[in-house]
């Protein structure tokens, strides 16, 4: 077998072994974009209570940030930046919500360790992540990092997608919310 043939067999084995073939359809699914309504969802927070998105539409601006994993370097930087600027969000009438596939228990430990004042939702099955069309990276092995800013009508008015610039999600969200609030005044 030629070197290129071996490479193709190896690549096929990786895709099959890690379930990347099913992840490929996630890339092809239309992601939620600016001017789209968010899908409704109901997940447990870090305290085990249900959070239903429908209960918050029309009440507050929502900042929904999807992140890969609790207590990892990039995710910790992002979460702590949201924590450090949390008062800026609340002053603008926004509710911050983090979502990952970690368990309720993992979220509680993460929130307590870093004194995170916002809601963390457990999407163990990945259904909400998929409903938003949040991509995965690195052959489908690493969940993506995307932040959505949602207005009072449940419509996305801002979106920031960057795996590597974790802390920038916060400044991008604050810029969009500040503009939204200024337009409303």
Task: Kindly state which CATH superfamily the domain 34-184 is placed in.
Answer: Glutaredoxin (3.40.30.10)
Q: What angle do CA 106, 64, 112 make, to 5 degrees?
A: 30
75 is known as an active-site residue: yes
Residue 87 gets which letter from DSSP?
H
Pairing between strand 142-143 and 136-137?
A: antiparallel
Q: Are 62 and 94 in contact (CB under 8 A)?
A: yes
Sheet of 50-52, strand order: 50-52, 42-45, 119-122, 94-100, 61-66, 146-150, 156-161
* pTM of the predicted model over 0.85: no
Segment 78-83 shows an average pLDDT of 96
pLDDT value, residue 109: 98
**Cα–Cα distances in Å, from 13 out to 18, 19, 26, 143, 144?**
8, 10, 19, 21, 23
pLDDT digits (tens, 9 = 90+) for 43-64: 999 999 999 999 999 899 999 9
Comparing 20-24, 94-98, 150-154, 165-169, which segment has the lowest mean pLDDT?
Answer: 20-24
pLDDT value, residue 179: 92
Segment 76-82 shows an average pLDDT of 95
Which has more confidence, 138 or 111?
Answer: 111
pLDDT digits (tens, 9 = 90+) for 106-130: 999 999 999 999 999 999 999 999 9
- Which residue of the set 20, 32, 57, 75 is catalytic? 75
Residue 22 above 90 pLDDT? no
């Amino acid at each position: 077998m030629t070197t290129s043939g071996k490479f193709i067999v190896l690549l096929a084995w990786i895709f099959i072994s890690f379930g990347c073939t099913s992840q490929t359809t996630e890339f092809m699914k239309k992601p939620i974009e600016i001017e789209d309504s968010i899908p409704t969802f109901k997940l447990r927070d870090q305290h085990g209570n249900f959070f239903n998105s429908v209960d918050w539409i029309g009440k507050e601006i929502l900042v929904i940030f999807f992140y890969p994993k609790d207590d990892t370097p990039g995710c910790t930087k992002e979460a702590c930046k949201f924590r450090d600027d949390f008062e800026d969000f609340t002053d603008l009438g926004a509710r911050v919500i983090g979502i990952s596939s970690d368990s309720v228990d993992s979220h509680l430990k993460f929130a307590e360790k870093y004194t995170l004042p916002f809601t963390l939702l457990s999407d163990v099955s990945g259904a909400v992540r998929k409903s938003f069309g949040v991509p995965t990276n690195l052959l489908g092995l690493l969940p993506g990092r995307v932040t959505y800013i949602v207005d009072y009508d449940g419509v996305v008015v801002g979106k920031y997608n960057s795996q590597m610039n974790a802390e920038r999600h916060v400044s991008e969200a604050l810029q969009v919310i500040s503009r939204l609030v200024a337009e409303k005044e």
